[in-house]
């Protein structure tokens, strides 16, 4: 991994000639193999039409897709552990039958380190207003908020976010964008997708078109 020396940026994750072939098919997802680097303190957007493989790339980077030689090609290089990687991919993930407060408490215990949850993030997104409500009863926007609070902790180095702005009202979207800017200043690397180009253009340092 490239480290930060003499003003150079530190690379958090790198892909070299990456490609993937879905089970039951023979054609790779991407017409051209993907080569890219994501640096510390950088927000990178993934853009493309439906079916272009944006979520697939996030799942590959997250390790959700097993690395099989006959399906995966190229190299993926990262110096961070799974513990330091936050993922909100496909749909918000939480325990539907638990309240917002119980979800947050449980995740804090599962992190293995007391107080690791980003309480300032929870306050900024206003999720504690819904502490006593079951997660399954939340609106789409509040489910997105809860998913972010559960995934992002104070030591997160890389966040992989699939459509984090999808279905959000303007106020909630502004709150999430504010969080993204805060994380960038703190040195977190973020990769996010959106089907709305304008959302990516207003927050991303770079956009990768698939």
Q: Does some domain include residue 35?
A: yes
Q: What is the pLDDT of residues 151-198, one digit of tens each?
A: 887 778 999 999 888 877 888 888 888 888 988 998 999 999 988 888
* CATH number of the domain that residue 84 is part of: 3.40.50.300
Q: How many CB atoms lie within 10 A of CB 102?
A: 16
Check: CB of residue 59 under 8 Å from CB of residue 38.
no
Q: What is the mean pLDDT of the chain?
A: 85
Q: What is the pLDDT of residues 80-112, one digit of tens each?
A: 888 888 888 876 678 888 888 888 888 777 766
Domains in the chain, number: 1
pLDDT band for 8, please (50, 70, 90 cuts).
low
Highest mean pLDDT among 39-43, 62-66, 184-188: 39-43
Q: What is the pLDDT of residues 106-144, one digit of tens each?
A: 877 776 655 566 777 777 778 888 889 998 898 888 888
Angle, helices 170-185 vs 140-151, to 10°: value is 10
DSSP H helices, the chain, are 54-62, 100-110, 119-125, 140-151, 170-185, 197-201
SS3 15: strand
Tokens describing residue 143: 């489910």
Domain span holding position 166: 11-209
Q: Does some domain include residue 156?
A: yes
């Amino acid at each position: 991994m490239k480290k930060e020396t003499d003003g150079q940026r530190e690379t958090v994750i790198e892909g070299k000639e990456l490609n993937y072939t879905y089970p039951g098919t023979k054609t790779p997802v991407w017409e051209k193999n993907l080569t890219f680097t994501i640096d510390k303190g950088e927000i990178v957007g993934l853009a493309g039409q439906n079916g272009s493989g944006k979520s697939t790339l996030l799942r590959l980077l997250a390790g959700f897709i097993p690395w099989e030689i006959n399906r995966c090609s190229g190299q993926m290089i990262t110096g961070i552990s799974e513990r330091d990687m936050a993922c909100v991919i496909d749909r918000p993930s939480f325990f539907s039958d638990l309240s917002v407060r119980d979800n947050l408490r449980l995740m804090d215990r599962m992190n293995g380190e007391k107080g690791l949850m980003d309480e300032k993030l929870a306050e900024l997104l206003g999720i504690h207003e819904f502490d006593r409500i079951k997660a399954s009863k939340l609106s789409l926007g509040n489910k997105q908020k809860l998913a972010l609070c559960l995934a992002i902790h104070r030591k997160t180095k890389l966040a992989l976010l699939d459509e984090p702005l999808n279905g959000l009202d303007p106020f909630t979207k502004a709150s999430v964008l504010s969080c993204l800017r805060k994380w960038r200043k703190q040195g977190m690397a973020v990769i996010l997708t959106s089907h709305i180009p304008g959302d990516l253009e207003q927050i991303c340092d770079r956009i990768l078109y698939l």
